[in-house]
Amino acid sequence: MADKTVDGGQWTGCAVMFLQSLCPGVNLLSLYKDPQGKFIIFKVIKLTLTDSAGGLGTFEILKVHDADPFLGVEVKFVNVAACHQFLESYSSGAVRQYLCQHACRLLALSQELTVETQLKAGTHTLDRCLDKLDLCLQHIHLSQPERLRDEEIDELEQQLQSQARGPASQSVTIMQEESPVPSNCFKFQNRVFEDRMLTAADVQSFSNGVGRQWKHVGRALGKNCRALKGPAIDNLAYEYEREGLYEQAYQLLSRFIQAEGRAAKLSRLVKALEDCKLTSLAENILDLQPRE
């Protein structure tokens, strides 16, 4: 799949994803309409798209609108490979999984969230043809965006960038330079965490959230783990192909723990996730709450 179109221009396409919570106490549309909830819901959507499309810079949120009872999210894709990855994530249910994980964490929900989704490109409902991803790609490509990004989305993006930088990032950096990280700790996003051996809960969180990226994480871990070098990753993929992505990811981390023993530390997994640009999954494993 090339990123160039037939006429030589850059590949772009537009789709609208509709979201509705099936939990009585959580209404995504109402939360987005609320001034205090708007930014949190936007961040949930942004993290979900980043995870499912393969990173930032591969998509642009143009508008979030009222499609009662759904919340509509208009997305422009600027990379055909990323759009294809998003469609694979959507068809496998990974998009709903990412959305529920981020929403539960950022909204501090006590219950597990269940959502209904619909995906459209123009007049085409893509949920009906997800078994034909090339056809879905064609519909998305033909559905070119009719508008520039909303001013409201611009403001939310700026707020998100400001939060990522952090109001006290400079003072935090200075404090950490003065106080070196202890040998039994590690640093992630300018915060210090106590290092420990990986637990069964870590393995489950990783296996639930990593999706198709498990191979990339495996190769990152394999830089310092002999058991994951050479054909080991491909062998795992072949051996557990029928069991699905969860089992492949589970076996990967289990093999890492078995091979490394007490050296199979949380810090090594977090570093591998950072290297693969899966910071939201690292935040989930660390149970990292958003900054106020």
CATH number (domain holding residue 45): 3.30.70.680
21 and 138 housed in the same domain: yes
Task: Identify the domain containing residue 266 by its residue range.
Answer: 185-286
Residue 5 lies in a domain: no
Residue 3 lies in a domain: no
- Residue finishing a domain among 101, 133, 163: 163
pLDDT tens across 122-167, in order? 999 999 999 999 999 999 999 987 767 888 888 888 888 887 665 5
Amino acid in position 215: K
106 and 55 housed in the same domain: yes
Residue 180 lies in a domain: no
Identify the pLDDT of residue 7.
Answer: 41
Residue range 64-70: mean pLDDT, rounded = 92
- Reported confidence tier of residue 8, pLDDT bands at 50, 70, 90: very low
Pairing of strands 13-21, 115-121: antiparallel
- Reported confidence tier of residue 6, pLDDT bands at 50, 70, 90: very low
DSSP state of 224: T
CATH code of the domain in which 261 resides:
1.10.533.10
66 and 142 housed in the same domain: yes
Identify the pLDDT of residue 166.
Answer: 57
**Other CB atoms within 10 A of residue 290 CB:** 13
The closest of 95, 11, 21, 47 to 282, measured between CA atoms, is 47
79 and 138 housed in the same domain: yes
33 and 146 housed in the same domain: yes
Residue 227 lies in a domain: yes
84 and 151 housed in the same domain: yes
264 and 215 housed in the same domain: yes
30, two tokens: 């109402």
52 and 156 housed in the same domain: yes
Using CA atoms, how far apart are residues 139 and 47, in angstroms rounded to an integer?
24
Total domains in the fold of the chain: 2
190 and 238 housed in the same domain: yes
85 and 155 housed in the same domain: yes
- Reported confidence tier of residue 44, pLDDT bands at 50, 70, 90: very high
